């Protein structure tokens, strides 16, 4: 039974959020989602999941949810807001069980309201299942039509619910759980890293390309207890030990008997999203047997080799530009400083600044250090530019703080194509590098010079097979073909369902 304890924000609040988001959105790709799962009988799985989601908060700040399994009974709580806003002690006390599935969301398919919050819980002939999804399907319309033909009851506008309903449909046709899940996954195309809970156990799944990450950890105890998470930082926070990644096209099944592995797809080809490497994932998360902080420092060193500029100081845009700025400083010999201070407590707010405040240059997130910048030629390092809107404002603020020259360096190539695999990007005509040359972008930003890291440099510094990454945002070479209808709108389902 699911406890009905979700709340919705008002339409006026949603309108305010959308207005603020449009004006304050950063010049970078928006977040993916964070998933978490745990199988740990006799442990407080709800609290373990809470802290795991807390560590994954950077991956999505729109909504959060946890479903726990107490035998056949499912307890669910999900709401709009940050993890710390959605849960408290009493709510966690009402989520007993030995299995938990958690999710923190940024909307990529389906709009931002509580009905689309996850985990998605659906009823099957074997009981309820709870699914948390990171990624995007590219055959959503086709899958939706198939489900509607079978009279499936769609209650959200997300592709995530459709995956859960596809599993339920296969189960209701007589398949066993693992067989039903695998049959459903073969009906899905695109990016999906999944954590799926049931009364029997919890499974972790990645699509054949492994576009979004998913890792396995172990908790101390006998027998071994297992954890699934989008990143290793979510293991660290609860004292779990990193075991390994879930491989592309793999399903891991965790029960009282332990962990079993099934290669559900025989056409796997690793294509991890390169944005995970240099921006999305936390710098303390481990990928390819090293922290991403180390990789991001190498990007900065490579950037200094490719695009040196004569300046007095170098600094990064907090937080994602800092490792590259340190690496740039090491190679260039230009002193690294903190030139910008980030307000780390700025989250989503329902309070709009007045128009007068906007015109006077309200700075909610970043503030320049005037005594550091005054009279200096500066190099500012960021990880990417998507639209160019906030970057232009930021450059202006550096000049106002007294910088005599501003040189911008970007530790990735120009973003020229939207993502359809679980990242919220604008249409192509809204991506500044799709419509302007580097020189034109520099003029738009009003910087003294602008340079991007080369595509080759970005991939070579991974120290991995350069063909094992998806870099479609920079090349337009999508590893999974994208239907033309999907390209038109991330809210393609809204009109069809309302």
Instruction: Read off the tokens for 465.
Output: 């097979």
**Which of 293, 290, 328 is closest to 308 using CA atoms?**
328
Instruction: Using DSSP, state whether 443 is helix, strand or coil.
Output: helix
CA–CA distance, 444 with 57 (Å, rounded to integer): 33
> Helix 292-306 to helix 322-332 angle, to the nearest 10 degrees?
50
Length of the chain: 498
> From start to end of 329-485, where are the E strands?
340-342, 366-368, 377-382, 405-410, 449-452, 469-470
Helix (H) or strand (E) holding 73: strand 73-80
Instruction: Read off the tokens for 372.
Output: 């550091």
Answer for the pair 109, 163: CB distance below 8 angstroms, yes or no: no
Max Cα distance, the chain (Å): 74
Instruction: Read off the tokens for 128.
Output: 């309820």
Task: Give the phi and the psi of residue 107 in degrees, each rounded to 5.
Answer: -70, 130
473 in active site: no
Q: How many helices (H) and strands (E) does the chain have?
A: 20, 23
Answer for the pair 486, 141: CB distance below 8 angstroms, yes or no: yes
**Cα 11 vs. chain centroid, distance in angstroms?**
25
DSSP state of 276: I
- Determine which one of 33, 152, 273, 470 is catalytic: 33
DSSP state of 336: B
Encode 103-121 in three state secondary structure. Answer: EEECCCCCCCCHHHCCCEE
The position carrying tokens 């509607």 is: 148
Answer for the pair 145, 488: CB distance below 8 angstroms, yes or no: no
Task: Give the phi and the psi of residue 69 in degrees, each rounded to 5.
Answer: -115, 120
Pair type for strands 193-197 and 215-219: unpaired
Paired residues of 129 in beta bridges? 122
The residues, ordered by sequence, that sit 6+ positions from 316 with a Cβ below 8 Å of its Cβ are 322, 323, 324, 325, 326, 380, 381, 382
**Cα 311 vs. chain centroid, distance in angstroms?**
34
Instruction: Read off the tokens for 496.
Output: 């069809």
DSSP state of 354: P
Active-site residues, by number, are 33
């Amino acid at each position: 039974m699911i406890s009905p304890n979700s709340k919705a924000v008002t339409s006026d609040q949603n309108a305010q959020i959308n207005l603020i988001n449009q004006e304050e959105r950063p010049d970078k790709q928006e977040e993916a989602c964070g998933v978490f799962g745990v199988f740990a009988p006799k442990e407080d799985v709800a609290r373990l999941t809470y802290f795991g989601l807390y560590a994954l908060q950077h991956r999505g700040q729109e909504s959060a949810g946890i479903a726990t399994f107490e035998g056949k009974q499912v307890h669910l709580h999900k709401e709009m807001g940050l993890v710390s806003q959605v849960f408290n002690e009493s709510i966690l006390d009402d989520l007993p069980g030995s299995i938990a599935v958690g999710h923190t969301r940024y909307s990529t398919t389906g709009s931002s309201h509580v009905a689309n919050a996850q985990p998605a819980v659906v009823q099957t002939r074997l009981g309820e299942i709870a699914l948390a999804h990171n990624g995007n399907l590219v055959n959503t319309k086709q899958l939706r039509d198939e489900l509607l033909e079978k009279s499936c009851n769609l209650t959200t506008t997300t592709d995530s619910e459709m995956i859960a309903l596809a599993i339920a449909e296969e189960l209701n046709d007589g398949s066993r759980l693992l067989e039903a899940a695998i049959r459903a996954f073969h009906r899905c195309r695109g990016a999906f890293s999944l954590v799926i809970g049931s009364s029997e156990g919890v499974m972790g799944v990645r699509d054949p390309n492994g576009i979004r990450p998913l890792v396995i950890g172990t908790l101390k105890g006998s027998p071994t207890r297992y954890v699934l998470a989008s990143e290793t930082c979510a293991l660290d926070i609860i004292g779990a030990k990193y075991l390994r990644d879930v491989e592309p096209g793999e399903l891991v099944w965790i029960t009282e008997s332990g962990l079993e592995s099934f290669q559900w797809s025989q056409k796997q080809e690793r294509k991890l999203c390169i944005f995970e490497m240099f921006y999305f994932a936390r710098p303390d998360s481990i990928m390819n047997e090293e922290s991403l902080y180390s990789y991001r420092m190498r990007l900065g060193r490579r950037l200094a080799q490719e695009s040196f500029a004569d300046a007095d100081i170098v600094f990064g845009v907090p937080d994602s530009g800092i490792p590259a700025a340190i690496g740039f400083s090491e190679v260039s010999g230009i002193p690294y400083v903190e030139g910008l201070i980030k307000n780390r407590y700025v989250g989503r707010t329902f309070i709009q600044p007045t128009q007068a405040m906007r015109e006077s240059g309200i700075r909610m997130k970043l503030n320049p250090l005037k005594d550091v910048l005054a009279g200096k030629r500066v190099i500012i390092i960021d990880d990417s530019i998507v639209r160019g809107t906030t970057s232009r404002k930021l450059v202006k603020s550096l000049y106002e703080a007294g910088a005599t020259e501003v040189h911008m360096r970007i530790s990735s190539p120009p973003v020229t194509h939207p993502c359809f695999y679980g990242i919220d990007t604008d249409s192509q005509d809204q991506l500044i590098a799709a419509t302007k040359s580097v020189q034109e972008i520099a003029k738009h930003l009003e910087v003294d010079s602008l340079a991007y890291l080369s595509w080759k440099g970005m991939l070579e510094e991974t120290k991995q097979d350069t063909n094992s990454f998806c870099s479609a945002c920079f090349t337009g070479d999508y590893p999974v073909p994208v239907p033309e209808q999907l390209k038109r709108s991330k809210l393609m389902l809204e009109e069809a369902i309302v």
